[in-house]
Structure 1
Amino acid sequence: MAVHFYEEDLPSTDLFGDGPIAVDTEAMGLRPGRDRLCLVQLSDGSGDEHLVRFGPDSDYAAPNLKALLGDPNRLKLYHFARFDIAIMQAYLGIMAAPVYCTRTASRLVRTYTDRHGLKELVKELLNGDISKQQQSSDWGGPELNDAQREYAASDVRFLHRLKEELDRRLAREGRTELAQSCFDFLPARARLDLAGWDEVDIFAHS
Structure 2
Amino acid sequence: MTEYSVISDISEFHAACAALAAGEGPVAVDVERASGFRYSQRAYLVQVFRRDAGVFLFDPPAIGDFAPLQAAIGDVEWVFHAASQDLPSLRELHLEPPSIFDTELAARLLGHERVGLAAVVESTLGITLKKEHSAADWSTRPLPAAWLEYAALDVLHLIDVREELQRQLDDQGKATFAAEEFAATLTRRPKPPREDPWRRLSGLHQVRGARNLAVAKSLWLAREAYAQEQDVSPGRLVPDRSLIAAVLANPQSKQALAGIKDFQGRASRTQLDRWWQAIVDGRATEELPRERVPSDALPPPRAWADRNPEADARLKAARPVVEAVAEELAMPTENLLTPDYLRRISWDLPGTTTDEVASALEKLGARPWQIAQTAQKIAAAFVEATQSPDEASAPAS
Query: What interval of TM-score do these two structures reach, taking the shorter chain for normalisation?
Result: 0.7 to 0.9
Matches within 5 A, 1:134-153: 134-153=133-152
After TM superposition, give the deviation of residue 53 of structure 1 in Å: 1.1
Matches within 5 A, 1:26-105: 26-29=32-35, 34-46=40-52, 48-55=54-61, 60-69=64-73, 71=74, 73-89=75-91, 91-105=92-106
Distance of 2:28 and 2:63 partners within structure 1: 24
Q: What per-residue deviation string (whole Å, max 9, x for no partner) do you get for residues 139-176 of structure 1? A: 00121110110000000011111011101110111000
Count of aligned residue pairs for this structure pair: 194
Secondary structure at the counterpart of residue 192 of structure 1: coil
Distance of 2:29 and 2:19 partners within structure 1: 14
Query: Is residue 22–residue 42 contact of structure 1 (8 Å, CA) maintained in 2?
Result: yes
Distance of 2:67 and 2:51 partners within structure 1: 22
- Tell me the TM-score normalized by structure 1: 0.83
After TM superposition, give the deviation of residue 180 of structure 1 in Å: 0.5
Secondary structure at the counterpart of residue 7 of structure 2: strand
Q: CA RMSD in A?
A: 2.7
Question: Is 2:118 the partner of 1:119?
Answer: yes
Query: Is residue 41–residue 49 contact of structure 1 (8 Å, CA) maintained in 2?
Result: yes
User: How has the CA–CA distance of structure 1 residues 157 and 68 changed in structure 2, closer, same or farther, with 3 Å as cutoff?
Assistant: same
Identity %, equivalent residues: 26
Distance of 1:130 and 1:8 partners within structure 2: 29
Query: Is residue 67–residue 95 contact of structure 2 (8 Å, CA) maintained in 1?
Result: no
Query: Is residue 4–residue 49 contact of structure 1 (8 Å, CA) maintained in 2?
Result: no
For 1:192, the equivalent position in structure 2 comes to 190
User: How has the CA–CA distance of structure 1 residues 39 and 118 changed in structure 2, closer, same or farther, with 3 Å as cutoff?
Assistant: same
- Tell me the TM-score normalized by structure 2: 0.45
Distance of 1:158 and 1:117 partners within structure 2: 14
User: How has the CA–CA distance of structure 1 residues 47 and 62 changed in structure 2, closer, same or farther, with 3 Å as cutoff?
Assistant: closer
Bigger CA radius of gyration: 2
Structure with more of its chain in helix, by fraction: 2
Structure with more of its chain in strand, by fraction: 1
| Aligned residue type for 2:88 | A
| Aligned residue type for 2:71 | A
| Aligned residue type for 1:95 | E
